[in-house]
Amino acid sequence: MESLRDRQKERRRRDIMDAAWALIGEKGLDATSIEEIATKAEVGPATVYNYFGSKNDLFEALFVRYIEREVQAGEDCLVDPPQDMAEGMAALFETYLVRANESCTPLIMREFYVLSMSKQFDYGRETYRLKQRFMEQAVRLATHYKERGQVREDVSAADAAVMCYSAITFPFLLTFLGMGMDLDTARELVRRYVRFAIDGIGRR
């Protein structure tokens, strides 16, 4: 059984992360200090350093938590997927898109993109490993449709997942890099591009 001390430590860690999420989402990483985060979390700066070591380590923890929550939300799409493959694959990617839009400001998403390609994440290699969890969900869903005859015999479930994942990269980037694409337009493009991908790999 988890002790009271452990629960308090976990709650304090969560409070620090929530405070950092709010401040960085509003001001950006460089403009947010450990002292501000500590004040908002109602702890001392030394406590923040004790839990995370540095501001970059704290922000990395936020990035990992973001991915974990996105993946958790994606699990719901795998329980009882639509009969049509394009609808099912699009629903999975729309879930990521909508959840990110609800929980992240455009600024913190841009900070995540910068972090994901930084030396801290081995210039994208470590990010690729983390984001494989999204791909694993896409492969599981594509396998569901492959087993039901909706994918050509010469196309694997992994191939289908990669095709769909690649198709939705553009609307995701335009939305979260602040390039003028609103959520509704991005969702429409996700559905459209996934449909194009499925039409190319579906059983004829």
CATH of the domain at 27: 1.10.10.60
CA 86 – CA 72 distance, rounded (Å): 21
Using 50, 70 and 90 to split pLDDT, how confident is the model at 115? Answer: confident
Q: Find the radius of gyration of the CA atoms of the chain.
A: 19
Domain that holds residue 31: 1-53
Using 50, 70 and 90 to split pLDDT, how confident is the model at 25? Answer: very high
Is residue 41 located within the same domain as residue 99?
A: no
Is residue 17 located within the same domain as residue 112?
A: no
CA 103 – CA 109 distance, rounded (Å): 10
* Structural domain count, the chain: 2
pTM (two decimals): 0.87
Is residue 26 located within the same domain as residue 88?
A: no
- Residue appearing with tokens 């699009």: 90
Is residue 89 located within the same domain as residue 142?
A: yes
Q: Which residues contact 69 (CB under 8 A, 6 or more apart)?
A: 99, 103
* pLDDT tens-digit map of 116-136: 888 877 877 888 888 899 999
Is residue 49 located within the same domain as residue 109?
A: no
Contact 83, 129 (CB under 8 A): no
Q: What is the domain-level CATH number for residue 170?
A: 1.10.357.10
Span 167-181, mean pLDDT? 87
Is residue 187 located within the same domain as residue 94?
A: yes
Short-list 116, 118, 133, CA closest to 70: 133
Kindly give the residue spans of alpha helices, DSSP state H, lying in the chain.
Answer: 4-27, 34-41, 45-52, 55-75, 85-103, 106-116, 125-146, 157-167, 169-176, 183-201
